[in-house]
Structure 1
Amino acid sequence: MAAKPSVIKPIISKMYCSSSQAVLAVRRRPHVINGGGFVVTDCSQNQKVAFRVDGCGILGTKDEMILRDGHGDALLLIRRKGAMVEALSIYRKWKGYTLDYEGSQDQLVFCLKEPNSCLARTHAIRISTKARQNKDWDFEIKGYFPDKDCSIVDSRGNTMAQIGVKKELMASKDLYHVVVTPGMDHAFVIGVITILDYIYGESTRC
C-alpha cells in the first residue's frame, strides 16, 4: 500500500497495533452455521488465530455481533439500534462498544454511518472514533466490499487497511485477506469489516 500515515493512537488497544505491515486472512465459518461469523488469522504468525467474530446466528440477536480475540475473550459488542428513528434518517448508525468484566456494554469506541436512502447513496460509509477532534469523521470506506476490493482510508487520504483477494484464491468467496498499515489497530479494522460483512448480507447476517 502506498500510504504514509502519521503515528496513530490505538483505537481499541495498543496490543493490537504493530510497527510493521500485517497481512490478515479472513475465512467464513462453515455455511451450516447461519450467520455464524468468521475467523481471522495472522499470516505472519503461521496462521495463528488473531480474532473471531460471532454473527447474529450464534448470538440469536438481529443487528448484533461480537468481536473476540484469538483466545475467545470478547473485545467489542457491535450493534445497530434505533431502527424506528433511523427510518426517517439518511443514515443507519452502527456502534462498537467495549465490554465490562460481566460482558455488558461499556464504553463507545466508534460509530459507523451507513447510507440509508437514495439521497445518501453517493455518500461514503464513514467511521468516527471517540478520539476525534473538530471533525465529523476519522475514516471512510473506498471501493466496494462485496467485490473484496476496498480500503479503509483516514481523513488525510492515507490507506489504513486494504481488503482484497489473492489471485490464487479467486475461486473462493469464503477467504480473503486484509493488509494493515503499520501503527493501525488490527482489532478496529476487523470491527469495521464485521459491520461491512453484515451490511452486505454475508457471513455474520442471519
Structure 2
Amino acid sequence: MASPKLKAPVAIISKLYCSPSQVVLTVRKRPQTVTGGGFVVTEDSTQSVVFRVEGCGVLGSQGELVVRDRAGDALLLIRRKEGVVQALSINRKWKGYSFDYEGIRKLVFKLKEPNSCLGRTSAIRISTEPRRSSGGDWDFEVQGRFPEKACTIVDHLGRIMAQIGVEKGMRSMDLYYVVVKPGVDQAFVFGVIAVLDNIYGESTAC
C-alpha cells in the first residue's frame, strides 16, 4: 500500500530545504584520522555539496554534532543530554537547535535514543518544536535498521519522509543514498541521520 502524500511542506529548519520534487542525495563518510570524522552530503545529479556534518572529532566534545550548509554556515547544533538521570533512563535524549539571523539558538526537535536492553527494542522517535501532531508524544519515527542502511523516517501517520539505502552490490557502508520525499525538510532529515550515525558509533562518534 502506497504511503499517503503530504499536503503541505514539512519545514522544520527552513522552507529553503523543502524541494517540490523528490531528491536523491549521497552520503560519503570522512575518515576520522584525517578530517576528524563526520560526513558530506552531495546532490546525486550534480555531485555538489549540500550539507556537511561534523562530529566530536572536529568539535572536541562528545555527544555534540553540527550540520552545516553548502557555504559552511551552521544550520543545526545537536547535543545529547547528559547526567545521572539520563544514565539511568530507558531513553537518552538529544536536542537539535537551529540558528536565527542573529545567531540565537532555537530548539527545533528532540530525539529519544534507547538506552538499555529493554529500550533497544523500542523505536527511535522524534518530536518537533512546535509539535506537528496532536496525539502521542512523537511526530516522526525511524523504522528499520540504520547500521545496514535499510531504514525509513516516517511521520505519525505513517507517511514516508525519507528512505536510506545502499546500491546493490556495494559492500562498504561508507557511501549510501538518502531519498527525501517532496516537501520534506532535507536539513531536518540529515540532522536525524547525524544522530543515528553517532548512536551507532559511525563517522561522527569519538
Distance across 1 between alignment mates of 2:36 and 2:2: 35
Distance across 2 between alignment mates of 1:195 and 1:171: 23
Secondary structure, in 3 states, of the residue corresponding to 1:33?
Answer: helix
Structure 1, 21-30 or 35-44: larger mean CA deviation: 35-44
Distance across 2 between alignment mates of 1:111 and 1:177: 24
Partner residue of 1:15?
16
Distance across 2 between alignment mates of 1:122 and 1:86: 18
Are 2:51 and 1:33 aligned?
A: no
User: Residues 55 and 203 of structure 1 are in contact (CA less than 8 Å); yes or no, is this contact kept in structure 2?
Assistant: yes
Residues 122-157 of structure 1, C-alpha deviations (whole Å, 9 max, x = no match): 210000001314331111010010000001011111
- What is the aligned-residue RMSD (CA, Å)? 1.8
User: Residues 34 and 203 of structure 1 are in contact (CA less than 8 Å); yes or no, is this contact kept in structure 2?
Assistant: no
Q: Structure 2 matches for 1:71-82, cutoff 5 A?
A: 71-82=71-82
Distance across 1 between alignment mates of 2:178 and 2:25: 5
User: Residues 76 and 97 of structure 1 are in contact (CA less than 8 Å); yes or no, is this contact kept in structure 2?
Assistant: yes
The alpha-carbon distance between structure 1 residues 9 and 162, as it changes in their structure 2 partners (threshold 3 A), is closer
- Read off the aligned partner of 2:203 and give its amino acid letter: S
Identity of aligned residues (%): 64
Question: What is the CA distance between 1:79 and its match in structure 2?
Answer: 0.6
* Structure 2: runs of 5 or more not aligned: none
Distance across 2 between alignment mates of 1:202 and 1:165: 16
User: Residues 141 and 156 of structure 2 are in contact (CA less than 8 Å); yes or no, is this contact kept in structure 1?
Assistant: yes
The alpha-carbon distance between structure 1 residues 171 and 82, as it changes in their structure 2 partners (threshold 3 A), is closer
User: Residues 35 and 205 of structure 1 are in contact (CA less than 8 Å); yes or no, is this contact kept in structure 2?
Assistant: no
User: Residues 98 and 107 of structure 2 are in contact (CA less than 8 Å); yes or no, is this contact kept in structure 1?
Assistant: yes
The alpha-carbon distance between structure 1 residues 196 and 35, as it changes in their structure 2 partners (threshold 3 A), is farther
Are 2:203 and 1:203 aligned?
A: yes
- Read off the aligned partner of 1:51 and give its amino acid letter: F
Paired residues, number: 203
Partner residue of 1:117?
116
Distance across 2 between alignment mates of 1:12 and 1:98: 7
Partner residue of 2:93?
93
TM-score when scaled to structure 2? 0.92
User: Residues 32 and 57 of structure 2 are in contact (CA less than 8 Å); yes or no, is this contact kept in structure 1?
Assistant: no
Distance across 2 between alignment mates of 1:24 and 1:32: 25
Structure 1, 128-137 or 85-94: larger mean CA deviation: 128-137
User: Residues 3 and 160 of structure 1 are in contact (CA less than 8 Å); yes or no, is this contact kept in structure 2?
Assistant: no
Question: What is the CA distance between 1:103 and its match in structure 2?
Answer: 5.3
Residues 90-119 of structure 1, C-alpha deviations (whole Å, 9 max, x = no match): 100001001356756x11010000111222
Q: Structure 2 matches for 1:1-206, cutoff 5 A?
A: 2-6=2-6, 7-33=8-34, 35-44=36-45, 46-100=46-100, 106-132=105-131, 133-135=133-135, 136-168=137-169, 170-206=170-206
User: Residues 63 and 80 of structure 1 are in contact (CA less than 8 Å); yes or no, is this contact kept in structure 2?
Assistant: yes
